[in-house]
Amino acid sequence: MTKTAAIIGGGVIGGGWAARFLLMGWNVRVFDPDPEAERKIGEVLANARRSLPGLSDVSMPEEGALSFHDDLADTVQGAIWVQESVPERLELKQKVYGALMQAVGEDTIVGSSTSGFKPSELQEGLTRPGQVLVTHPFNPVYLLPVVEVVPTAANSAEIRSRASEILTEIGMKPVEIKKEIDAHVADRLLEAVWREALWLVSDGIATTEEIDDIMRFGFGLRWAQMGLFETYRVAGGEAGMKHFMAQFGPCLKWPWTKLMDVPEFTDELVDLIAGQSDAQSGHMTIRELERARDDNLVAMMRGLKARDWGAGALLNEQDKRLGQPEVDIAGPITTLATAIPVDWLDYNGHMTESRYLDAFARSTDRFMEIIGCDADYIATGGSYFTAETHIRHIDEAHLGQRIRVETQCLLGKGKKMHLFHSMYEGERLLATGEHILLHVSLETRRPSPPAEKIELRLVEIAEAHAKQPQPEGVGRAIKVS
């Protein structure tokens, strides 16, 4: 049964939440009195559709249904999760929660996207305060996985646990904050850097572009994959964190920063920063900047995914939760179902040649798992090596398109395995890959018979697939007409 989430407030953050839930297979109901809400969320969703699926190497759920509603009580009907993302005015948020308590079920979780207010302030005066807690994300919500979960004593262990389970289910990384505090944790860290940056611009020491360059070409890259403390642990060398603290701790007493003070927000300072920002990136629209941001995030996170590190390890766990398609050997087996990410594109804007081979190699790996030639078997000293490959490029594949590969086993006997992969977008054939593989002893690096259980499974599939028509193009060689 499809689950339902309700989004109260459809701005940048609310739209990001809507996209995250929708693309993870939830139905989403939106309440926002802004007459432009449907257009704005539609644009956020368009960006999410082209980027979020690129983080997954398995088939994502079918997209849920999106609907817009004029009545708050109607919006939350059937919702097991309500996400409030209205403007940061405490009286407005408290008014919304008062109305929600009259409309939501007693087991519905109500999360707030607030970046500053404490959950106790949001819960004040509510009939069922235990249903409300802070779930503060980061923009874009549909790509960045971290979410600060801030409860109070009014929130039961069951509510906190269920909130984390739901957030994990939609691919996020919930971090429960032990004590409530104004602005939580992440925004306090960001505000410290922001405050210092304002002084650096105000004092004429650096421009907005120079500060951004220092971050994006320097410590920002380190923070993206290790964070703050682990980065400094490495900086301490073999002696570790204690050595780093002893070496650099005293500098905290030096008058380097102005973190306890802030420059006056005069019109001149605002104009200075706005002007520098316009010169830095005013040649691009906000939507162009968003797409560049999304493409860069996907590329970085996929790089971490290949290393099974940080946010990449989280994505690998999400792929495991999403799972592989069911195996039916009566016909060609779906061995790959994914979306084309940005790092699969070439200068012509379509999927580059090497990625076709990559996709077919993944399909071969999946087929090997299906016949039992998995990591455990390979660890015993046997595997399959590819001896020959022929790929036909039939039609173009573009960013965000959902593709699948269907694999037919044409021969599976003794040391030989003959596979034919067909790549589709819907019913449109994009490419085929034909491969001859040999079972090899990893000790001698020479062809060898597979284990009996492997051969029996391979023969079973080959015999089932022999009843299917032979794919067009089998045995095709390159010819010039």
What residue segments make up the domains of the chain, in order of their start?
Answer: 4-176, 186-283, 324-465
Q: How far apart are the C-alpha atoms of 151 and 180, rounded to whole Å?
A: 7
Report the distance separating Cα 30 and Cα 84, nearest Å. Answer: 10
Q: Do the bridges between strand 81-84 and strand 4-8 make them parallel or antiparallel, or are there none, so unpaired?
A: parallel
CA distances from 214 to 76, 203, 206, 209, 217 (A): 45, 17, 10, 9, 6
Q: How many whole angstroms separate alpha carbon 247 and alpha carbon 268? A: 40
Helix axis angle, 311-322 to 286-306, nearest 10°: 80
- Tell me the β-bridge partners of 411: 418
- Decide which of 272 and 265 is more confident: 272
pLDDT (average), residues 146-151 = 97
Instruction: Report the chain's mean pLDDT, rounded to a whole number.
Output: 92
Supply the Cα-derived Rg of the chain in whole angstroms: 27
Give the pLDDT band (50/70/90) at residue 249.
Answer: low
Whether the per-residue pLDDT at 253 is higher than 80: the answer is no
441, β-bridge pairs:
382, 446
Tell me the CA distances in angstroms from 249 to 115, 122, 252, one per residue in order: 30, 38, 6
Residue 242 belongs to what H/E stretch? helix 240-248
Residue 369 scores a pLDDT above 90: yes
Angle subtended at Cα 315 by Cα 312 and Cα 320, rounded to the nearest 5 degrees: 130
Residue 276, pLDDT above cutoff 80: yes
Torsion angles phi and psi, residue 371, rounded to 5:
-90, 0
pLDDT-derived band at 258 (thresholds 50, 70, 90) equals low
Q: How far apart are CA 294 and CA 240, in angstroms?
A: 35
Average the pLDDT over 258-279 and give the result.
80
At 46, is the pLDDT very low, low, confident or very high (cuts 50, 70, 90)?
Answer: very high
Residue 175, pLDDT score: 96
Return the bridge partners of 202, or none: none
Q: Do domains 4-176 and 186-283 have the same CATH topology?
A: no
The answer to whether the pTM exceeds 0.85 is no
215-224, 330-339, 364-373, range with the lowest pLDDT? 215-224
Using a 10 angstrom Cβ sphere, with 0-12 exposed, 13-18 middle and 19 or more buried, the burial of residue 208 is: buried
Task: Enter the DSSP assignment of 462.
Answer: H
Q: How far apart are the first and last CA of the chain?
A: 54
Per the annotation, binding residues for NAD(+) are 9-14
Q: Tally the C-alpha atoms within 13 A of residue 481's C-alpha that lie toward its C-beta.
A: 1
pLDDT digits (tens, 9 = 90+) for 18-28: 999 999 999 99
The answer to whether domain 186-283 has CATH 3.40.50.1450 is: no
Other CB atoms within a 10 A radius of the CB of residue 213 amount to: 14
Domain 324-465 classification at class level? alpha beta
Binding residues: 9-14
CA–CA distance from 298 to each of 53, 319, 348 (Å)? 9, 15, 19
Range scoring the smallest mean pLDDT among 45-59, 201-215, 229-243, 278-292: 229-243
pLDDT of residue 257: 65
Cβ atoms < 10 Å from Cβ of 293: 15
Q: What percent of the chain has pLDDT over 70?
A: 97
Using pLDDT thresholds of 50, 70 and 90, give the confidence band for residue 325: confident
Rounded distance between C-alpha atoms, residue 189 and residue 239, angstroms: 27
Per-residue model confidence (pLDDT) at position 326: 85
User: Looking at the predicted structure, is the pLDDT value of residue 250 above 90?
Assistant: no
Residue 289, pLDDT above cutoff 90:
no
Tokens read off for 4? 């339902």
Question: What does the block give as tokens for 143?
Answer: 């790509």
Per the structure block, which two tokens stand in for 11? 């701005």
**pLDDT tens, residue by residue, 426-464:** 999 999 999 999 999 999 999 999 999 999 999 999 999
Tell me the pLDDT band of 255, cut-offs 50, 70 and 90: low
Q: What is residue 114's predicted lDDT score, i.e. its pLDDT?
A: 96
Torsion of CA 23, 27, 32, 37, to 10 degrees: 40
- Note the pLDDT tens digit of each residue in 67-108: 999 999 999 999 999 999 999 999 999 999 999 999 999 999
Sign of torsion over alpha carbons 87, 91, 94, 98: negative
* CATH architecture of structural domain 4-176: 3-Layer(aba) Sandwich (3.40)
For 385-400, write each residue's pLDDT tens digit: 999 999 999 999 999 8
